[in-house]
Amino acid sequence: MPYKKSVTMKDVVSLLNDCVKRDRECMDKLVNTRVVCNKKLANHNTVQIKRSKNKKGIIYEVGLLGILNGLFGVDETGWGAISANSVLLKNGKEKVEGFVILKENTFGNVIKLYTNYPKPFKKSLL
């Protein structure tokens, strides 16, 4: 397959969901992993960064979705359009179910604009 000259949010979500179909556990761990980054990256205009405090000060962390959303920009509140949807398991932990493109409608409610979810977890896991 030749290189793509451009990539859309729909392309990214389709790829992420295909990866979930192939290895849900891997994608769950990957999307929930954050790496400490410096303030220069934390101040990027479109990359989403998790900010938290500890005794030493502010900690900045970045993950896969923060970088991918940085490709497509953010809304006026600083959030990107690509989101991971998770299911809550009996043990209280969340597992990635799939990825969607979100869009805020005129009433301020977030709606799913595009999804091609993999099949949900077996009920025995929930």
State the pLDDT at residue 111.
Answer: 52
Q: Which residues of the chain form beta strands (DSSP E)?
A: 34-37, 49-54, 57-63, 82-88, 94-104, 110-115
State the pLDDT at residue 114.
Answer: 52
Phi, psi of 39 (to 5 degrees): -65, -30
Domain ranges of the chain: 9-115
Residue 78's identity, in one-letter code, is: G
State the pLDDT at residue 124.
Answer: 36
The Cα 118–Cα 126 span in angstroms is 16
- Whose tokens are 């604009």? That residue is 113
State the pLDDT at residue 80.
Answer: 87
Tell me the CA end-to-end span of the chain in Å, nearest whole number.
38
Prediction pTM value: 0.78
* Interval 12-37 mean pLDDT: 94
State the pLDDT at residue 105.
Answer: 44
In this predicted model, which residue has the larger pLDDT, 82 or 105?
Answer: 82
Residues 6+ apart with CB under 8 A from 102: 81, 82, 83, 110, 111, 112, 113
In this predicted model, which residue has the larger pLDDT, 91 or 47?
Answer: 47
